[in-house]
Chains A and B, each alone.
Chain A
Amino acid sequence: DQQVKQNSPSLSVQEGRISILNCDYTNSMFDYFLWYKKYPAEGPTFLISISSIKDKNEDGRFTVFLNKSAKHLSLHIVPSQPGDSAVYFCAACTYGGATNKLIFGTGTLLAVQP
């Protein structure tokens, strides 16, 4: 049973435009959500996180939106740059849960075309 789902395996966007990556979850006990970026042959690196007490968090070009009623979160990248081309994973953990017990989605491959 996939508790965190990323239904789009891939996404292609033009440089300078907005990239929107989506993530759905089924476990209502999740209270903390994170996005990671992964380049080939490297480990994932942390991008941005959001707690369930918020519905939006921004960090530079990256914004994460959380819709708890829909059990849905999204990552917006504006403007998109070729260096953003990577696999993006969303991840979640439960209230009080250690963040080393993250449940990951299957990832979305973002390609930003110059």
Chain B
Amino acid sequence: NAGVTQTPKFQVLKTGQSMTLQCAQDMNHEYMSWYRQDPGMGLRLIHYSVGAGITDQGEVPNGYNVSRSTTEDFPLRLLSAAPSQTSVYFCASSYPRGTTNTGELFFGEGSRLTVL
């Protein structure tokens, strides 16, 4: 059971380049999210999705796009990379909170992005 898989694990970009961080989950979770972790800032929500075809913005969405064409995949696109987007990015998935589960997020191992 792979859980949440993120690729690539490391990436170096130049300012202005674009790229896509891939995220796939094999747990049939409805909910998926992207967070970024920066020193002293904790984890901040970039975008999230509550199902295929449905996405919405989180706390820090500027400079990022997402799409959810399937339940399994939730790629994060950086349109024109900036040094301020240097960060560690985490993808996560979960079931909705219910009476028989806590709805907790399952996280991938992270993608470390450096923008020069």
Contacts and interface: CB of A to CB of B under 8 A. Distances in A.
Interface of A: 4, 6, 32, 34, 41-46, 49, 89, 91, 98-107
B110 A106 contact: no
Nearest to A6: B42
Given A49-B102, A49-B104, A100-B105, A89 B43 contact: yes
Given A46-B104, A49-B104, A100 B109 contact: no
Nearest to B41: A106
- Size range of the chain B interface in the assembly: 20 to 34
- Chain A interface helix/strand/loop/mixed: loop
Interface string B79-94: 0000000000010111
Nearest to B106: A46
Contacts of A101: 33, 45, 48, 58
Contact of B31 (A42, A99, A106): A99
B33 A43 contact: no
Interface of B: 4, 31-33, 35, 40-45, 48-50, 58-59, 90, 92-94, 96-97, 102-110
Contact of A43 (B31, B42, B110): B110
Contacts, number: 74
A77 B108 CA distance: 25
B21 to A, nearest CB: 14
A107 B88 CA distance: 15
Given A43-B90, A49-B104, A89-B43, A98 B110 contact: no
B32 A43 contact: no
Contact of A102 (B105, B106, B110): B105
Given A100-B94, A101-B58, A102-B33, 14 more contacts: A43-B92, A44-B90, A89-B42, A99-B31, A99-B96, A99-B102, A99-B104, A100-B33, A100-B105, A101-B45, A101-B48, A102-B105, A104-B44, A106-B42
